[in-house]
Structure formats: structure tokens, C-alpha cells
Amino acid sequence: MVSNVLEIEQAALVKQLKTFKKRYAADPEFKKLRADLPKDWPF
């Protein structure tokens, strides 16, 4: 799991990912990278 590799708690990782989603929602590069993930990917 990603949280294990980063040596952080899963809850902290989820919080960080949600922050990224809000912070970079309008960023074209974020949109492109996010588009490569499945629609039902957690965030």
C-alpha cells in the first residue's frame, strides 16, 4: 500500500489526497494525470 511505502497512516494519506484534489482541481497537469486514473479511484 502507498501509505506503507511512505510510512504514514492510511488516514493521513487520505487526508493529503483530498487536500491535493481541492488545491489542484483547476490545474491542467493535475487534471491530465487524474484523467489517467479510473473514475472510481478513491478521489
- The predicted-structure confidence for 1-43, as pLDDT tens digits, reads as follows 788 888 889 899 889 888 988 999 899 998 998 899 888 876 6
Specify whether the CB–CB gap between 38 and 28 falls below 8 A. no
20: its cell numbers: 491535493
What pLDDT shows up at residue 2? 80
Question: Which residues, at least 6 apart from 31, have a Cβ–Cβ distance to it below 8 Å?
Answer: 25
What pLDDT shows up at residue 43? 65
User: How many residues make up the chain in this entry?
Assistant: 43
What pLDDT shows up at residue 20? 87
Q: What is the pTM of this model?
A: 0.62
Separation of alpha carbons 40 and 43, rounded Å: 8
CB neighbourhood size of 23 (10 A): 10
